[in-house]
Structure 1
Amino acid sequence: MQQKLFLTGIGTDVGKTICAAVLTAYFQAEYWKPVQAGSLSYTDSMRVRELTGHYTHPEAYRLQLAASPHNAAAKEHIHIKLDHIQLPDTDQQLIIEGAGGLFVPLSDQVFMIDLIAQFAIPAALVVRDYLGCINHSLLSIQALRQRKIPLSYLILNGTFDPDTERVICMYIGQETQVIRIPELDVIDRAAILSISKQTLI
């Protein structure tokens, strides 16, 4: 893995945080979620730390409402600014988890993909198999390509129809490695660490 990796998804609820935990353990990395919207009593950072035991950096923005970051911020009269979101100063490998997909708005002017471009680091794209996932996956891959953001990893989270997997994987470049994370019946530290000890790449 590159020293820093931005983990995004083809949409909401595709399992980014679980995949982030697996990669954090696999790469022996630290974890950072720049923007947390909602669930402040049990944030994604808290969950990853619980599942891996690894260090998690504090969020740049912690917003009360479980909604798109631009909406959650507006409710608190906050304007999210890219220059306020700075990469943590660390020599360790770092997994960064975004909120939702690439075009989740951080404000009326900027989107999650703009944050990835600002960091100038590779991305990992989490995909889950559902009706419409091929379209969402190919749109996401194309958007990253247009912004010249390297896609280091395509993460297939859970069980996939073979033809769905085949079509999606046709559209990634040779520089992109595929990681398959199995469906988990129980999500706890033992399960995450067990997967992280497997050869994922």
Structure 2
Amino acid sequence: MLRSKIYLILGIGTEIGKTFLVENLLRHPDLVSGSILPLAIKPIASGFCDDDKNSDTARIAKILGEKDFDKITPWRFKKPVSPHFAGKIDFSAVKNFCRKNIALAKKQNRFLFIEAAGGVMTPITDKKTFLDLACDLKIPVLLVSANYLGSISHTLCAIMALKAKKIFLEKIIINENFPSQIKTSQLVRTCPKSRCEEHSESAIDGHRSRDFGQVLRTIERFSNIQTISIKHFLQ
């Protein structure tokens, strides 16, 4: 399933399924040793509300039985914007927090999943992105993508950025249940009336479903990296 025990979970964008993946990895029987669960952190979160039980941090904390959110997400901001807009962040402090948890995971021989915020190129500061964090931490990456119009290009661009920095990308995991960022009804409205039957909502949704395998194969062919659906990855 996994070659290493410590990973950085990156996405091609925000709300792509990174936390869903982490939640399932924390519960996966192949990664749990007796009553000892893997570790997980999400250093930075924006759009955060302390009372939101469905926040990424709260969902991770619930599985780990951790009540102190600072141990999972020290940098929490209310504004739902890019981290470098949300507040002042010390990039070195973020790195040190990650490295402290990496050292702990190695000492305890446990899995550790570090979840990024947003996408590969999301800025952490005015000069540093999550790509820079990946480069500095020197740990394997799992890249989360999805099946929507434009996702192939977005995924391949993220892969190119990681490869340019010589970051080891172990797997590309596609969230097949991610809703399209362009609603089916929008696609239907843009089609000529003479073809409205061919481009009905049900036809487009069915076409998207049938094409999922082609999306996987296309990304894998261009990247030469194992590409798998999140469903099959977690089996």
TM-score range, shorter chain: 0.7 to 0.9
Structure 2 residues not aligned, in runs of 5+:
33-37, 178-208
Name 2:73's counterpart in structure 1.
Answer: 59
Cα distance in 1 for partners of 2:164, 2:121 equals 13
SS at match of 2:40: strand
1:7 paired with 2:9, answer yes
Equivalent residues in 2 for 1:44-193, closer than 5 Å: 44-50=56-62, 52-53=63-64, 57-73=71-87, 78=88, 80-85=89-94, 86=96, 87=98, 88=101, 89-91=103-105, 92-158=110-176, 161-173=212-224, 176-182=225-231
Cα deviation, residue 53, structure 1 = 4.1
SS at match of 2:26: helix
Name 2:26's counterpart in structure 1.
Answer: 24
Given candidates 24, 32, 48, the residue that maps to 1:39 is: 48
Cα deviation, residue 126, structure 1 = 0.5
Cα deviation, residue 172, structure 1 = 3.0
Name 1:190's counterpart in structure 2.
Answer: none
Cα distance in 1 for partners of 2:65, 2:141 equals 21
Contact conserved, 1:6 with 1:124, CA < 8 A, in 2?
yes
Cα distance in 2 for partners of 1:164, 1:177 equals 13
SS at match of 2:14: coil
In our comparison, the structure showing a higher alpha carbon Rg is: 2
Structure 1 stretches of 4+ moved >6 Å: none
Cα deviation, residue 99, structure 1 = 0.7
Contact conserved, 1:31 with 1:45, CA < 8 A, in 2?
no
Give the direction of change, closer, same or farther, for the CA distance of 1:125–1:20 in structure 2 (3 Å limit).
same
Structure with more of its chain in strand, by fraction: 1
Cα distance in 2 for partners of 1:36, 1:4 equals 20
Deviation readout 1:35-60 (Å, 9 max, x if unpaired)? 0112232331211233x346684323
TM value normalised by structure 1: 0.80
Name 1:191's counterpart in structure 2.
Answer: none
Query: Letter of the aligned partner of 1:22 in structure 2?
Result: N
TM value normalised by structure 2: 0.69
Q: Percent identity?
A: 30
SS at match of 1:101: coil
Contact conserved, 2:41 with 2:73, CA < 8 A, in 1?
yes
Give the direction of change, closer, same or farther, for the CA distance of 1:101–1:39 in structure 2 (3 Å limit).
same
CA-based RMSD of the aligned residues comes to 2.2
Q: Which stretch of structure 1 is more off in the superposition, 39-48 or 108-117?
A: 39-48
Contact conserved, 2:220 with 2:226, CA < 8 A, in 1?
no
Structure 1 residues not aligned, in runs of 5+:
184-194
Give the direction of change, closer, same or farther, for the CA distance of 1:14–1:61 in structure 2 (3 Å limit).
same
Structure with more of its chain in helix, by fraction: 2
